[in-house]
Amino acid sequence: MSYPIGSQPQAMQGYASSGSQWHSEVFDCCEDMGVCLCGTFFPGSLACKVASDYGECFCLPCLGGTILALRTGIRERYHIPGSICEDCVCLTFCGPCTLCQMARELNERKR
């Protein structure tokens, strides 16, 4: 006799085992004044540096949508919890601050 399925297993979201987080929050811009000033006055240059530090071609940010892909890639590489939707919201409403966070994260991970 077969029994009906009462519930299905749920997929785990995020990376529960690694516990990795961003080293700084989006609005912690003043933690690195060099990155903050560059992100404020020269965000295109900072985006190129972030792409280069990530290991991609420095001119990658000239293509549409690649900053979102970089942020998602950083999260995936370092097992930082989040979603593409959260990445998109951060970049849409807090673009320069989010770019600065990405630069600070890559600088911290290089140490």
Torsion-angle region of residue 18: left (phi > 0), alpha (psi -120 to 50) or beta? alpha
pLDDT band at 16 (very low <50, low <70, confident <90, very high): very low
The secondary structure of 76-99 as a DSSP string is HHTT----HHHHHHHHHHSHHHHH
Q: How many CB atoms lie within 10 A of CB 107?
A: 17
Mean pLDDT taken over the chain: 87
Q: Is pLDDT above 50 for 17?
A: no
Task: Report pLDDT digits (tens) over 28-69.
Answer: 988 899 999 999 999 999 999 999 999 999 999 999 999 999
What pLDDT does residue 2 have?
66
pLDDT band at 9 (very low <50, low <70, confident <90, very high): low
Task: Report pLDDT digits (tens) over 72-81.
Answer: 999 999 999 9
Measured CA distances, 65 to 17, 61, 88 (Å) = 30, 8, 10
